[in-house]
Amino acid sequence: MRDYEQLLLEEQLGSQVPNDFPCDTTPASLSGTQPKLAGRIIAGRFVVGLTAPERFERWDLCEDLAQQLVQKTLKDAAKYPHHPHDVTLRRMRRAIERKGWTSVVETDWLMERLGILLGW
């Protein structure tokens, strides 16, 4: 029964994450010449990439950050009205990258999401 509950939880969490959110945000670097899969054993299962709860957590963090950045981005755009929207978004991206909170693919998604939220 416990496996069923875990699968149900994973399905529920997975359905809340948009399809365009990155699945694997931490590429592995494995030495050697043979092809390899970087995975983990979790609850007796071999898992490659993020689990549904991990992916939900990463998406939730990125979505929350995008929502918070709307006002900051609008404030920056008002401060520099001569900057086109893409310049303002690049400024926001650099600020996010300096913090190191998100991976490159998460930052890509976050910036796209921020543009959508702003209607830019």
120 residues of the chain, pLDDT tens digit each = 566 666 666 667 667 899 899 887 555 666 777 776 677 777 777 777 777 888 899 999 999 999 999 999 999 999 999 999 999 999 999 999 999 999 999 999 999 999 999 999
- Contact present, 66 and 114 (Cβ < 8 Å): yes
Nearest-angstrom CA–CA distance, 109 and 80: 24
Rounded to a whole number of angstroms, the distance between the first and last alpha carbons of the chain is 47
Nearest-angstrom CA–CA distance, 99 and 68: 15
Annotated domain spans of the chain: 2-118
Nearest-angstrom CA–CA distance, 110 and 93: 9
| Residue carrying structure tokens 């931490």 | 26
